[in-house]
Structure 1
């Protein structure tokens, strides 16, 4: 219902406030649809057209990561620009020549947007990737040729100019899977931020040919929030999933376990790993519980450890007490290693040297999972 109302509101003029409110209300529904169904970009444009507006890309990224997209991206780029220029200008060989050609106009005191553009282009080349895979530039008179070429683009920024590279662009936009998703952006640096934000919003992996460039974009966010992206974001690029999970010690220490326990990025099909964090442990005794299992009754320790994840919460103690969850095919194995059995060894034979006497035999008592006690008498020849 909210989505249908939102579709009507998008068609109205000067309606930004209502669109923002409706987009915020439908965020959970939209994320579930994107992650589970993985719709094509055309479908998303039809169902959620507001998501492909610059303001809403910023808002969506903020909802997912708790970090402002464009301000942080541009501020990070400006902060590192002097150091980046110093490093890139020292590059030798053919790559160094290309970088110096791009950076040459920056010495003339150009506009800030042109400076950012030059740094970003040089950075792509410095990382060993082709800048034409990221930024595709055309003259206005080549518009039809540009449209035909962009239909085959997986992910790119297009720029239309009247003349040389120092002239203000007539149009800057984004293409994903051959579909134009955004235009009329004010700079190439802004377009890079929007494209980076859309990889999160639309749940896209980084293009293979631009992997290092996008990973570098990601470093413009503070280290202390870097792993927050993985925790609160369902759409983190697949190729970075495991590095982020492996180094999750960079969560703020005081929030590490809340982050892991309430991790919103677990899909339904991974609910058992989520249950591994066992919310029933008192926080102050978590390590004691997990390491030494001191709260488990000794005779049920292996049952608790082995089957703890699979019990319905409301029947957990019933299952643990009566060992109902032993797999049939492993029943005897589990009973053999069950610490609840008690063994009484046979007593010594009471007999004279020359005749067969009576033997008092011990009894081995085994507690089975139905609590039945079987006593066996052992008689010798």
Structure 2
């Protein structure tokens, strides 16, 4: 095969950081374990560079999608390029096809769906016929129509070979694997939870830290309930003794809500606003508690760092976060409580946060080696011997 690239990774983008964070984690693991391999990530996510941090992973930036969420249902908007959502999908499809045609990767890993967002992967399936195509799927998919459609199954059967399941069956059971196997006619390969933060420990910049922060709050994307949540947080933090330490709220500071957050917390010296990025790992590790949304990425983060956490839900129609957070809460004391963000009062949030600050964690064994396991398998598909290359 006339290939210029060993592994090309595609990350679905538009809302949240879970898809891109998983893809970054696997890309970093590939570059760490197999430095001779050539690896590229392609995505439209604007915060990808912050997620990679000091890691050794190159990426190609596509124009970004933008998603609005109303009553738990997503709809496309014009992104930062100000190109219509449907037209942008067509243009990105051409971009991706050209990238695959030019680089002819030995292995192509797609996150979430075989067709890609707005079917933008479809044109690339007609080029580079010898490329081995692999689909990566999160631990709990939820009722995502584009994953469970007959069209998705047909696309997979015509172009893909394998499924990597980013979960742990001792936590989630076998039901999701069996459902995927039935739908796609391929038994998924279980690799464990993919944690980008797990890879950061190998970069050499992170050191053991004391639990000096009261906690962190992760709001990776703003939604219809964000302003209400920020008001609740200001009331909570104004009433918690400063002896617990400072609180850091991680947001995408490029979003309009961040400006409002700056005004809300300007009179609270114990609260700091931070841009989503690699510093989150160090701060989460140094925290006694956390408030997170129930996305795959955030749940993996707190499991990796062992921080007792309050999990908020946005009420998305696919039900993925509710199901996943509930499964983890049943298995680990790290998940202190799961609540709908718009229904939880400031008083309830404060009481549960104080409880988390005093919680003694009883560890639960969860497989968090998904990035490394996935990287080893992808490297083997690219023809690389599976040996440990950390030295």
TM-score (norm 2): 0.22
Greater per-residue strand proportion: 2
TM-score (norm 1): 0.22
Flag the structure with larger Rg. Answer: 1
Greater per-residue helix proportion: 1
Greater RCO, CA 8 A, separation 6+: 2
